[in-house]
Chain A
Amino acid sequence: MPRNIAAVCALAALLGSAWAAKVAVYPYDGAALLAGQRFDLRIEASELKGNLKAYRITLDGQPLAGLEQTAQGAGQAEWTLRGAFLRPGSHTLEVSLTDDAGESRKSVRWEARQNLRLPRAAKNVILFIGDGMGWNTLNAARIIAKGFNPENGMPNGNLEIESGYGGMATVTTGSFDSFIADSANSASSIMTGQKVQVNALNVYPSNLKDTLAYPRIETLAEMLKRVRGASIGVVTTTFGTDATPASLNAHTRRRGDYQAIADMYFGRGGFGVPLDVMLFGGSRDFIPQSTPGSRRKDSTDWIAESQKLGYTFVSTRSELLAAKPTDKLFGLFNIDNFPSYLDRAVWKRPEMLGSFTDMPYLWEMTQKAVEALSRNDKGFFLMVEGGMVDKYEHPLDWPRALWDVLELDRAVAWAKGYAASHPDTLVIVTADHAHSISVFGGYDYSKQGREGVGVYEAAKFPTYGDKKDANGFPLPDTTRGIAVGFGATPDYCETYRGREVYKDPTISDGKGGYVANPEVCKEPGAFQRTGNLPVDSAQGVHTADPMPLFAFGVGSQFFNGLIDQTEIFFRMAQALGFNPHLEKP
């Protein structure tokens, strides 16, 4: 008899679960937030049977007020509470729904963290993100920049990124919906402490059709501006509305909402907090549709509008260096991405530069941004992205990618100097995800193709730096280089060499697949490699490999060990002694 009762109970439980409505709650179960951090709370019920007869939504046992109820379709119901926040501590949100099939329940737990008031807290944060700059990328850049002493095999030194730090960590990455991160969700995790979907910026998942209406999560930059009145800015070598810069204050399910992201930078949409300093490429999202080259679908002219809003506008290196910025600075230096450092500083090929022959270096933009932002005595948050590292790792163009790491390193050197003379400044250097790049040998440039690769002792030591460019950087042209490859590739032709005029590794086969670029395959020594990615992959891809993190200045001791990318957000808040629920705007 007891066995029969157990069987009936098990059957009832099974049927109960089969009939129950599905309930999703955001913030998701297990989310950690900063106490006082704003977010849009959203509850979505689907597969409701018949009518929704009753519901009860409680936070820590108390009915939750202010919920807006909607329905996206038959058998669905949603509740939204925009601009919610939590007090410090553990919280439980419970949802109980009754439909024709009975009651469905869902319970999630959240942790709202608060920070100790520090005797010495950071007021300013400069966050460097080398896009795609995993440990191996950084390692390859150091080998090029510093090399080894051939007398004893000792390395000649470290990059600026790797020297004189007060904290160092290895960072694991991932997305809400995949263990491989993309730039949008990884940067969002760093800025909000939440896991975010691939291609999404600072929003939780939802069943909404409008990508801009998704439940938003407040970023650290937005909070610092809202609560402390700090200034916020972004500097990058990519087009300005790209994922990493957009992680400062953009909120959308689709990182490709470029026009809306450009508008959010000026305080339109999102939570409405504008950026004070913007220096980047990609003017096509800021000029009106009627102008040839624009990517906008309306007549907004942000170059003209920005000046009415009090921004100093600059469009060349000369203008930037001559500018005496007030607290608002807006610079557009290319219609699209910057060409790589090697294109701008070394090769200077007209095919790569076009009319853009007067562009600033990343370290110059960083310095100018800090000059403008530091006019605000309430502090600042600046993100500096070495954005083209990733964009050249994707097509396996490692020389362009690695020299852009060196450009980032020079910018970090400047920021370290700033932090040394401004002891209220925290400098962090990290990445958003890695690529499958690896240095596995030396390369003898007097030979061609595979014949030039030397492994183990045959690799000898690279001779980069025997010739230097005007900035004192090693030239790529040397007798002994490094042999570099990628673990994840499409079919492509390998030559082990860079090329002054960029070429894609693959071209479309016209049927949804990609084949090795025949122009590359014709180069001396080129040999075809069979890829290991699906044939519809045109390029290399991000990896699950961990990333480096180095911290300098006040609060840098909070960054250590093996941490998840979401933890970077909480450690920055810790270093800032930041408690948005306590500090009154």
Chain B
Amino acid sequence: MKRLRTLAHWGLLAWIGGIALLGLAQSPLEFGELYSKITVRGVEFSPKLQALNGKSVRMTGWMAPPLKPKLDFFVLTKAPLATCPFCSTAADWPPDIVLVIMPPGRTAEPTTKRIQVTGRLEVGVKEDASTGFVSLVRIYAERVEEAR
């Protein structure tokens, strides 16, 4: 009986895995859907974003000017972006950005083309220990490709 349940469990996982491989389990997520509102008291995550936390998502956007040459992570933005080095010593990032973390050992190519990122969504304030970069929304990427 226990063995049967385990088999059923594995079967279910295989089924979910199959859908994931077909790309059906990746929820599309738009930049406009990240926050329900931004006020002077901070940013509120949208119900959709919170519901997708930990799940596989697909987002399309632009790669922000890279913070370092080897891109084990980069910032995905809604619109093509340039920073203004003389306006401010810290980059004036727009609030609606998503940090994309490449799989261990893999790097992304810097590009000026529109890109599509697929991976696991993580929501919440997190500071990167090495760069001090604070992110609100992250995607642990499985695939980064040119958007069609």
Task: Count B interface residues, CB 8 Å.
Answer: 36
| Min CB gap A7→B, angstroms | 50
A36 close to chain B: CB less than 8 A: no
The interface residues of chain B lying within 8 Å CB-to-CB of A216 are none
Which residues of B sit under 8 angstroms from A518, Cβ to Cβ? 80, 112
Collect the chain B residues with CB atoms within 8 Å of residue A336's CB: 92, 95
Q: Within the complex, which residue of A242, A292, A395, A503 is in contact with B43, where a contact is CB–CB below 8 Å?
A: A292
Tell me the residues in window 34-91 of chain A with beta carbons closer than 8 Å to chain B beta carbons: none
Given contacts A254-B89, A315-B40, contact A292 B82 (CB under 8 A): no
* Docked complex: A389-404 residues within 8 A CB-CB of B: 390-391, 394-395
Is A504 touching B90 in the complex (CB atoms < 8 A)? Answer: no
Chain B 9-41: CB-based contact to A (< 8 A → 1; otherwise 0): 000000000000000000000000000011111
- Residue B80 contacts which of A255, A287, A354, A503 (CB distance < 8 angstroms)? A503
Check if A508 sits within 8 Å of B110, measured CB to CB: yes
A256 touches B (CB below 8 Å): yes
Residues of chain B lying within 8 A (CB to CB) of residue A395: 82, 84
Q: Which of B58-66, B99-107, B138-146 contacts A (4 or more CB under 8 A)?
A: B58-66
Residues of B50-97 at the interface with A, using a CB-CB cut-off of 8 Å, are 62-66, 79-90, 92, 95
CA distance A497 to B134 in the complex (A): 36
**Contact assessment for B95 and A335 in the assembled complex, using a CB-CB cutoff below 8 Å:** yes
| CB closest chain-A residue, reference B96 | A354
Q: B129 at interface (Cβ–Cβ under 8 A)?
A: no
Within 8 A of B (CB), among A308-355: 315, 332-337, 354-355
Within 171-204 of A, Cβ neighbours of B (below 8 Å) are at 182, 199
Contacts of B66 in A (CB 8 A): 508, 510
Decide if the interface of chain B is mainly helix, strand, loop or mixed.
loop
Contact with B along A488-525 (1 / 0, CB 8 A): 00000000000000011111111100110111000000
| Among candidates A243, A303, A355, A504, residue contacting B38 with C-beta atoms closer than 8 Å | A355
Q: Are B42 and A504 in contact (CB under 8 A)?
A: no
The answer to whether B64 touches A508, judged by C-beta atoms less than 8 angstroms apart, is yes
Q: How large is the interface on A (under 10, 10 to 19, 20 to 34, 35 or more residues)?
A: 35 or more
Are A510 and B63 neighbours in the complex by a CB distance under 8 Å? yes
The answer to whether the Cβ of A542 comes within 8 Å of any Cβ in the partner chain is: yes
Given contacts A293-B42, A293-B95, A510-B112, contact A390 B87 (CB under 8 A): yes
Instruction: For the complex, give the distance between the alpha carbons of A581 and B89 in Å.
Output: 36
8 Å CB contact of B81 from A290, A356, A504: A504
With both chains docked as a complex, state the minimum distance between the C-beta of A339 and any C-beta of chain B, in angstroms.
12
Cβ of A374 within 8 Å of any chain B Cβ, yes or no, is: no
B79 proximity list for chain A (CB < 8 A):
503-504, 519
Least CB separation from A333: chain B residue: B40
A199 touches B92 (CB 8 A): no
> Across the interface, which residues of B come within 8 angstroms of A507, CB to CB?
62, 65, 80-82, 112
Q: Does A236 contact B (CB under 8 A)?
A: no
Secondary structure type dominating chain A contacts: loop
Contact A335 B84 (CB under 8 A): no
Q: Are A538 and B85 in contact (CB under 8 A)?
A: yes
Q: Give the residue name and chain of the B residue nearest to A313 (CB).
A: B40
Write the nearest CB–CB distance from B118 to chain A, whole angstroms.
20
Residues of the B chain whose Cβ atoms lie less than 8 Å from the Cβ of A503 = 79-80
The interface residues of chain A lying within 8 Å CB-to-CB of B90 are: 256, 258
Q: Which of chain A's residues has its CB closest to B83's CB?
A: A538
Q: Within 8 Å CB of B112, what residues of A? A: 507-510, 515, 518
A336 to B84, CA, bound (A): 15
A294 CB-CB contact with B under 8 Å: yes
Residues of B within 8 A of A506 (CB): 82
Are B110 and A511 interface neighbours, CB within 8 A?
Answer: yes
What residues on B are CB-neighbors of A542 within 8 Å? 86
Interface residues of A in 255-305 (CB under 8 A from B): 255-256, 258, 283, 287, 289-295, 303
CB neighbours (8 Å) of B89 from chain A are 199, 254-256
A343-379 at interface with B (beta carbon < 8 Å): 354-356
Closest-CB distance, A328 to chain B (whole angstroms): 18
A141: interface (CB < 8 Å)? no
> What separation, in Å, do the CA atoms of A293 and B41 have in the docked complex?
9
Residues of B within 8 A of A390 (CB): 87
Known A-B contacts A256-B89, A289-B125, A510-B110; A504 and B41 likewise in contact (beta carbons under 8 Å): no
Q: Which B-chain residue is minimally distant from A288 (CB atoms)?
A: B42
Q: What does the 1/0 interface line of A515-548 toward B look like (CB < 8 Å)?
A: 1011100000000000000000011011000000
Cα A33 to Cα B41 in complex, Å, equals 41
From B64, B80, B84, give the contact of A519 (CB < 8 A): B80
A336 and B81 alpha carbons, distance in the complex (Å): 17
Contact of A292 among B45, B86, B88 (CB under 8 A): B45
B40 touches A504 (CB 8 A): no
Q: B86's contact among A315, A354, A394, A509, by CB below 8 Å, is which?
A: A394
CB distance from B67 to the nearest CB of A (A): 11
| Most chain B beta-carbon neighbours within 10 Å: one of A182, A255, A293, A505 | A293
Residues of B with C-beta under 8 A to A510: 63, 65-66, 109-112
Residues on A lying within 8 angstroms of B by beta carbon are 182, 199, 242-243, 254-256, 258, 283, 287, 289-295, 303, 315, 332-337, 354-356, 390-391, 394-395, 503-511, 514-515, 517-519, 538-539, 541-542
Residues on B lying within 8 angstroms of A by beta carbon are 37-45, 62-66, 79-90, 92, 95, 109-112, 124-125, 134, 136
- List 16 extra interface pairs beyond A394-B84, A510-B110, CB under 8 A: A255-B88, A256-B88, A256-B89, A290-B125, A292-B45, A292-B125, A294-B125, A332-B40, A334-B40, A335-B42, A504-B81, A507-B82, A508-B110, A509-B110, A517-B80, A538-B84
22 residue pairs of the A-B complex, CB under 8 angstroms, read A199-B89, A243-B88, A283-B41, A287-B41, A287-B42, A291-B125, A292-B125, A293-B42, A293-B43, A293-B136, A294-B42, A294-B125, A336-B92, A395-B84, A504-B79, A504-B80, A507-B81, A508-B81, A510-B65, A515-B112, A519-B79, A539-B86
